[in-house]
Amino acid sequence: MSDLKIQDILFCAAFAGEIDKLKSDPRIHTLEAGIGELEAAINLQKYLSDPSTWKPKAILGIGSAGVYNWIPRKEWEGKFGISKVFANYQIAFLDKKIRLPESMTFKYEFPDLQFPFDGNDFVESATNGTGSVTLEDLSPRALERIKGESLGFENMEAFGLAKVCNLFNIPFGTIFALTNKVGPKGSEEWKLSWRKHSDRLQEKILSYL
């Protein structure tokens, strides 16, 4: 177990439903950062730049993530995902349908972060912080790249939060409810399951207080 305490962490979620239970406990610090990598990054940077705000020892993104199909469902269903490696690969970029400048930074890693959680309930993998939700099965080219870099999870806010934490030199990671398989039915599966899994995730975190 890490020496990092739950009370030392700022939990950043996309919307209120992902942190409502945590927010009700005065010992826990939360931020509703907004949906998507840009909005999440702007709001976290605004928070950290305010000299009057409490400054965390670490920041964890909390919410939900889809799981790429190279990880069998039996290995993640009913568990929680944790990450400390974050990439920003748009699926169209991996399929060479769009071009991005080579000078851009596509990955951040936080190897020194020690999660204050342990046990078989947690699955660790890198997260692909996309700007949107993937609604198609991945092409062989994209799947090879995703699997080759051990990117197991997909989440819309993670990379934006990671970029800001790198800028401020603050340890960063994520803890996700693993709600769905990435692909054509992913959004519908998420809609049916996110509330239940979010409650489980928040209750799990509270159990570590």
Write the pLDDT tens digit of every residue in 125-134: 999 999 889 9
Cα–Cα distance for residue pair 182/23, rounded to 1 Å: 29
Residue type, 3: D
In terms of Cα–Cα distance, which of 140, 122, 135 is closest to 84?
122
What does the pLDDT read at residue 124?
Answer: 97
The answer to whether domain 6-207 has CATH 3.40.109.10 is: no
pLDDT < 50 regions, the chain:
1
pTM of the model as a whole: 0.95
What does the pLDDT read at residue 103?
Answer: 79
The domain limits of the chain are: 6-207
End-to-end CA distance of the chain: 13
In terms of Cα–Cα distance, which of 57, 197, 181 is closest to 114?
57
What does the pLDDT read at residue 176?
Answer: 98
Residue whose entry in the numeric block shows the structure tokens 């568990």: 79
Beta strands per DSSP E along 14-57: 29-32
